[in-house]
Amino acid sequence: MPQYAILIHSPAPADPMTITPEYLEQLDRYPAQVTELGGNIVTGFALEPSTRATSIRGDVVTDGPFIEAKEVVAGFFILEAPDYDTAVAIAKLNPATIDGGVEVRPLFFPPAE
């Protein structure tokens, strides 16, 4: 089954320790919604706040995210879904779409030779 990276965008600094109980309840319901639409969450991770990021450009290492932004990547998960349209439908149900956003990116697999 095709796989997709689902990138979760949240207002900076996207500290997972500030998630509300209401948001956690929505997250708890999400896997069942994914399954109902024919998808499967392979794995997923929340990221530490963007204030914990280190950026590297050439030889320059700086504290902080790669760019200054109102929203940052707060986490991601790998989704298996029958097709791109299903992956998008599943992503639209993610509670992060309320205050932030969700990006769907097909995983790249090199073509067989």
Average pLDDT over residues 67-75: 85
> Could you give the CA distance from residue 13 to residue 74 in angstroms, rounded to a whole number?
8
Average pLDDT over residues 79-96: 97
Residue 49: band (very low, low, confident or very high) from pLDDT cuts 50, 70, 90: very high
The answer to whether residues 6 and 95 touch, using CB atoms and an 8 Å cutoff, is: no
Query: Is pLDDT at 92 greater than 90 in this prediction?
Result: yes
Average pLDDT over residues 29-35: 97
The answer to whether residues 96 and 10 touch, using CB atoms and an 8 Å cutoff, is: yes
The proportion of the chain whose per-residue pLDDT surpasses 90, expressed as a percent, equals 81
Q: What is the mean pLDDT of the chain?
A: 94
Query: Is pLDDT at 83 greater than 80 in this prediction?
Result: yes
Nearest to 90 by CA among 39, 29, 27: 39
Residue 68: band (very low, low, confident or very high) from pLDDT cuts 50, 70, 90: confident
Whole-prediction pTM = 0.89
Query: Is pLDDT at 63 greater than 80 in this prediction?
Result: yes
Residue 113: band (very low, low, confident or very high) from pLDDT cuts 50, 70, 90: confident
